[in-house]
């Protein structure tokens, strides 16, 4: 039989739940603000802090938040916000048109 001593400094399950809820709420609110600013025409590169976005993604990964089954009826607010930000970034990046070599020649000799 395993003999385990309890740690007097351990957080209770309720404490951990409160911390989890707070972190989730803070991340969700930040993502909502980013989405609002992007939808208002803000520059994604100036709005989104990639370290904070990675932190939000890591939080999802560590807490088992994954892509929801399209047939599922439950919603995941944090996962939805991350998905929306990724979609907005993809939309902005898909509008970028690269220079062609002849464009550079025209401006160099034009």
Question: Cα–Cα distance between 63 and 76 in angstroms, integer?
Answer: 12
pLDDT reported for residue 1:
47
Residue 68, judged by CB atoms within 10 A of its CB (0-12, 13-18, 19+), counts as middle
Query: Quick one: pLDDT at residue 104?
Result: 58
- Tokens 């807490």, located at residue: 63
Under a CB-based contact definition with an 8 Å cutoff, are residues 19 and 69 in contact? Answer: no
Which pLDDT score, from 0 to 100, does residue 64 have?
79
pLDDT given at position 33: 95
Is 34 in contact with 48 (CB distance < 8 Å)?
Answer: yes
pTM over 0.85: no
Residues of the chain with pLDDT under 50: 1, 73
pLDDT in tens, 64-91: 777 655 555 456 777 788 888 888 887 8
Residues ≥6 apart with Cβ < 8 Å to 41: none
pLDDT at 39: 92
């Amino acid at each position: 039989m395993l003999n385990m001593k309890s740690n007097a400094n351990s957080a209770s399950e309720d404490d951990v739940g409160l911390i989890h809820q707070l972190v989730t709420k803070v991340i969700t609110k930040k993502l909502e603000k980013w989405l609002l600013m992007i939808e208002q025409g803000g520059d994604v590169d100036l709005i989104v802090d990639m370290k904070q976005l990675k932190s939000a993604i890591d939080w999802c990964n560590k807490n088992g938040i994954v892509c929801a089954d399209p047939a599922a009826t439950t919603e995941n607010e944090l996962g939805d916000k991350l998905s929306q930000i990724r979609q907005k970034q993809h939309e902005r990046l898909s509008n970028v048109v690269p220079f062609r070599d002849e464009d550079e020649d025209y401006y160099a000799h034009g």
